[in-house]
A and B are shown apart, each in its own frame.
Chain A
Amino acid sequence: DTAVSQTPKYLVTQMGNDKSIKCEQNLGHDTMYWYKQDSKKFLKIMFSYNNKELIINETVPNRFSPKSPDKAHLNLHINSLELGDSAVYFCASSHKGLAGTYNEQFFGPGTRLTVL
């Protein structure tokens, strides 16, 4: 059973289109994340949701809108795609932890988005 799954694995689309990437976790976690890995392999957090509530938003353009219908899903919708959005997007999930601790993050396999 896949712990954190993402669909699609590959997405090729034209500039200006709107697309969504789906993420689902079956680990019973209540916190989910989106990370972006650019063409230089640099990984950076974009968003974090806890119990469907946005917790972290790392100055991502408004064209990116995460949507969490329930604790097990965090989808990423991107409007008006630009060439610079081409990247690999990783979803991750973790338990909610107590103050002073760390909650281990489990990563999905990634979605490679190519904007032409």
Chain B
Amino acid sequence: AQKVTQAQTEISVVEKEDVTLDCVYETRDTTYYLFWYKQPPSGELVFLIRRNSFDEQNEISGRYSWNFQKSTSSFNFTITASQVVDSAVYFCALSEANDSDYGANSKLTFGKGITLSVRP
């Protein structure tokens, strides 16, 4: 069974502060995929990043960076110089690879989400 733990529930920072959102996962598979999604107050789910289990290279995209460490089963997300528009709920998610050519069993298992509030 797969599990995603986001221990932080709510984080509040002042604009321009850096903030790290933690994510710890559990899976028995050797091939799996990790994701971060953003859910702004408008409610839609916005895809941010996907990493597969064989690619531990950290990634940076503008003010966003991700640190994937298989040794600690963590996939943490850092926002540098946070802005008010970053205020949202952030979800970490895990999907195991298809175990057949069916493909439809790639369900996403989500963490409980972290509510980030960035104050001006």
Contacts and interface: CB of A to CB of B under 8 A. Distances in A.
Interface of A: 31, 33, 35, 40-45, 48-50, 55-56, 58, 88, 90, 94-105, 107, 109-110, 112
Contacts of A41: 39, 89, 112-113, 115
Q: What is the predominant secondary structure among interface residues of chain B facing chain A?
A: loop
17 contacts: A41-B89, A41-B115, A42-B113, A50-B103, A56-B104, A96-B102, A96-B104, A97-B106, A98-B101, A102-B33, A102-B95, A102-B97, A102-B98, A104-B50, A105-B106, A107-B47, A110-B45
Contact of A107 (B45, B52, B107): B45
A94 B95 CA distance: 13
Contact of A43 (B52, B91, B95): B91
Given A99-B98, A102-B98, A104-B50, 11 more contacts: A33-B107, A41-B112, A45-B108, A56-B107, A96-B104, A98-B103, A101-B103, A102-B50, A107-B47, A109-B44, A110-B44
Contacts of A95: 103
B102 A50 contact: yes
Contact of A88 (B43, B50, B101): B43
B104 A48 contact: yes
Interface residues of B, number: 29
Interface of B: 31, 33, 39, 43-45, 47, 50, 52, 89, 91, 95, 97-110, 112-113, 115
Contacts of B113: 41-43
A94 B43 contact: no
Contact of B106 (A35, A103, A109, A110): A103
A105 to B, nearest CB: 6
B104 to A, nearest CB: 4
A50 B112 contact: no
A110 B39 CA distance: 11
A33 B26 CA distance: 23
B97 A112 contact: no
Given A41-B113, A42-B110, A100 B31 contact: yes
